[in-house]
Amino acid sequence: MYILGVKKYFLLSACLIYSAQLFAHGGVALTDDVCVMSLGNLSAHFAIYQPETRQSKEFCEDIPDATGSVFVIDFVHDVLRDMTVDFRIVRDVNQVGLSAGWADYQAIENLREATVFYQPSQQYANGTMRLNTRFDQKGSYIGVITAVNPKTAKVYKAVFPFRVGNKTFWDYLPAFIALLLVLEAFYWISSGGLDKLKNNKVLKFA
């Protein structure tokens, strides 16, 4: 019974780790298996790819490797196609973490020094932003997208903190499977499975 309880505990832990991957943070949320970024009352689909190490696997904010990364943002609302949009990634120099918001971004004293990537403001008439960058260090970062309506000068912004080098559920899965197999084998032996196997062989050849 103890072994079964331990197995249930690790299965629950695996489920919790997996669930943590399903709920993004900051300005991006997972809805119907699609990452959606909110810019005020407007929205866009959001995805990150790391083709050098993860092939075509799609990530929603947190990414596992410090390597070349592709950010793809597809506008849901066509009005964004007429706006000028810029994109910036800064190091989380103040160590705010996953709760970082616009005020935390503005609190960064030396924005130029903290910036690791910046795409100047421009229009995306086709409704898609495809941005290539490379992370040289693991750690916490803050992404910021700012869209400006040229007719009204209204500003729409999204701030999304994320981590580079953060392990995902799939990275932990092999270790969980191996541990469960060890527990299963230990339970089988402790419950007399080995003796039963020996007895069956004796009866078979008797």
Cβ atoms of 95 and 129 within 8 Å: the answer is no
Q: What is the pLDDT of residue 178?
A: 59
Neighbour tally for 11: CB within 10 Å: 12
Distance CA 33, CA 51 (A): 20
Contact 139, 91 (CB under 8 A): yes
- Per-residue tens of pLDDT for the chain, all 206 residues: 444 444 444 444 444 444 444 444 555 655 555 689 999 999 999 999 999 999 999 998 789 999 999 999 999 999 999 999 999 999 999 999 888 999 999 999 999 999 999 999 999 999 999 999 999 999 999 999 999 999 999 999 999 999 999 665 545 455 456 556 656 766 656 776 666 656 665 555 55
The ranges assigned to domains in the chain are 27-170
- Contact between residue 90 and residue 102 where contact means Cβ atoms under 8 Å apart: no
CATH superfamily of 27-170: Macroglobulin (MG2) domain (2.60.40.1930)
In which residue are the tokens 């690791």 written? Answer: 116
Q: pTM (2 decimals)? A: 0.69
Residue 177 — φ and ψ, nearest 5°? Answer: -65, -45
CA 17, CA 176: separation in Å to the nearest integer? 11
User: How do the residues of the chain divide into helix, strand and coil, expressed in percent and rounded to 5?
Assistant: 35, 35, 25
The DSSP symbol for 29 reads E
Write down the pLDDT at residue 13: 45
**How high is the pLDDT of residue 185?**
62
Residue 92's pLDDT is 96
The two three-digit tokens of residue 3, written as one number: 């072994």
Distance, CA of 96 to CA of 81 (rounded, Å): 32
